[in-house]
Amino acid sequence: MKRSAIIIKKSKDGTRCIAVDEENFDILNSFFQKDKRYIKKFKFICELLLQNHKNRELYDKEEPDSLSIGVRAMKFFKGQENARVYCREVTRENKTFVIVAVELLERKKQTKLTHKELNIIHRVADYEYTEFKYYEDL
Confidence (pLDDT) at 129: 96
Confidence (pLDDT) at 78: 75
pTM of the predicted protein model: 0.92
d(CA 81, CA 88): 22
d(CA 82, CA 129): 27
d(CA 105, CA 93): 30
- Residue 59 has φ and ψ, to the nearest 5°, of -155, 120
Confidence (pLDDT) at 92: 92
Q: Along the 138 residues of the chain, how does pLDDT read in single tens digits?
A: 899 999 999 999 999 999 999 999 999 999 998 889 999 999 999 999 999 999 999 999 999 999 999 999 999 987 777 899 999 999 998 999 999 999 999 988 888 888 999 999 999 999 999 999 987 644
Burial per residue of 7-40, b for 16 or more beta-carbon CB atoms within 10 angstroms, e otherwise: bbbbbeeeebbbbbbbebbeebeebbeeeeebee
Confidence (pLDDT) at 108: 85
**E strands, the chain, in order:** 2-10, 16-21, 59-61, 71-76, 83-91, 97-105, 128-134
